[in-house]
Amino acid sequence: MNIPELLAPAGTMESLRAALHYGADAVYGGMKRFGLRAFAGNFDGEALREAVELCHAKGKKFYLTMNVFPWDEEMDDLTQAARTAREIGVDAAIVGDIGAICVLREKVPELPIHVSTQASACNAAAVRHYRELGCERVILARELTLERIAALRRNAPRDIEIETFVHGASCVAWSGRCLLSAAMTGRSGNRGECAQTCRWVYHVVEEQRPGEYMPVTEDDRGTYVFSARDLNLMPILPDLCAAGVSSLKIEGRMKTEYYVAVVTAAYRHALDLLKHGREAFDAALPGLLAELKCASHRLSDTGFLLGPPEKPAGATGFSQTREYVARALSDAEPGEPAEFLLKNRFRRGDPLELMSAGGVIPFEAPAMTLAATGETVDTHGVANAVIRMPLPCRVRTGDMLRGPVRNHSREEKEEEA
């Protein structure tokens, strides 16, 4: 079976490290300008160089998002940024605007270009056109069905790659080209500043009845007539691979390192299982779906892949079944103390899990030693403190610890703050 590249988001250096640790083949991230996630951590200057070098040292790739829709007066700066990125060694730039593609192909011809989903490529003719412009990959519009993706792959030139989103938040607008945020807040989604106005609560007012606001009730929290469900293509992953896509893209440059780790690890495991046949994947599917619920998520569906998406899910209603509590800062063999960076409070005796690159290992939390003082305690509530603990299993730098989701008391929250 065709096993595509697994492409994970990297909004910060922490997320990038998590993506690589848990099995991504490539990551994508932005500079401080020209990407569609202006409020992510992003990379610039030396940070971008460090990110690219880290990826290449592990045999992985880094794709730079340059998918903003630029004004004429920005083209020179965008071109210079592309030259800098190529000199640093990025493996491709993700570009959505046709003018920007043409300018970069002319002025920075050595920089490979991947066509962003914002370009709304939804047929083989569009893919063929981008290939003629010298682009190496097209990220398809999210509105295609599985059958249309397969047909497009058959009819498009064989020497251009096809990428599609596989997991994460979805935009209410066609290929993410939404005017709602710009109209209501002045923050354009196509300039990287989306305020996620589609996630807000709305009421309906009838023209002849001004001032009479009528909720279209979906639940007791309000109405979300725009807010799309999250995308989750894990149930149809074998079919998507069989359709011939070259890369599977996880959405989430605004998400946490824990989210990136959980989702990347689940899809890495799934793709590795598919190397041994669909039967192995089918047997593991319930566990894979349960694993994805360990990270924060909304209600999800398969988008347009199997037909029209389900009804809107709402802005609230996030849930997760596990809480991120620490990240390993050192290697250790079973029974030896390893250092961890504390993220959330847990207590001695709590049922925890070690998320390693090879799988999830449950254990009971031992007492911890505070690296700063040498004191042994049963719990500690200061985020980003360094602690030491012996685990009954091997630990590698970058592994994460997680536990049951807890309702932290006000006192705990104040202490952790």
Residue 26's CATH number? 3.20.20.380
- Tens of pLDDT, residue by residue over 137-169, are 999 998 899 999 999 999 999 999 999 999 998
Shared-domain flag, residues 272 and 132: yes
Q: What pLDDT shows up at residue 181? A: 65
Calculate what percentage of the chain has a pLDDT beyond 70: 84
DSSP reduced 3-state for 287 = helix
Q: What pLDDT shows up at residue 182? A: 66
Task: With cut-offs at 50, 70 and 90, classify the pLDDT of residue 43.
Answer: confident
Shared-domain flag, residues 291 and 351: no
Quote the mean pLDDT of the chain: 88
The answer on pLDDT for 39 being more than 70 is: no
Beta-bridge mates of residue 360: 355
Residue 160 domain flag: yes
Shared-domain flag, residues 358 and 403: yes
The answer on pLDDT for 218 being more than 70 is: no
Task: With cut-offs at 50, 70 and 90, classify the pLDDT of residue 417.
Answer: very low
Residue 138 domain flag: yes
Residue 75 domain flag: yes
| Count: domains in the chain | 2
Last residue within a domain, chosen from 246, 269, 301: 301
Shared-domain flag, residues 293 and 352: no
Task: With cut-offs at 50, 70 and 90, classify the pLDDT of residue 205.
Answer: confident
User: Is residue 167 classed exposed, middle or buried when 0-12, 13-18 and 19+ CB atoms within 10 A define those classes?
Assistant: buried
| Dist. CA 66–CA 122, nearest whole Å | 20
Q: Which of 173-182, 204-213, 222-231, 308-317 has the highest mean pLDDT?
A: 204-213
Residue 308 domain flag: no
Shared-domain flag, residues 289 and 328: no
| Dist. CA 64–CA 194, nearest whole Å | 19
The predicted model gives 398-413 an average pLDDT of 78
Residue 19 domain flag: yes
Shared-domain flag, residues 257 and 343: no
pTM for the predicted model, two decimal places: 0.87
Residue 208 domain flag: no
Residue 312 domain flag: no
Shared-domain flag, residues 350 and 384: yes
Helices 13-21 and 46-57 cross at an angle (nearest 10°) of: 0
Shared-domain flag, residues 257 and 406: no
> Phi/psi at 121 (nearest 5 deg)?
-65, 115
CATH number of the domain encompassing residue 370: 2.40.30.10
Residue 182 domain flag: no
Shared-domain flag, residues 238 and 330: no
Full residue range of the structural domain in which residue 71 is found:
5-174+227-301
The predicted model gives 63-83 an average pLDDT of 93
The predicted model gives 245-260 an average pLDDT of 95
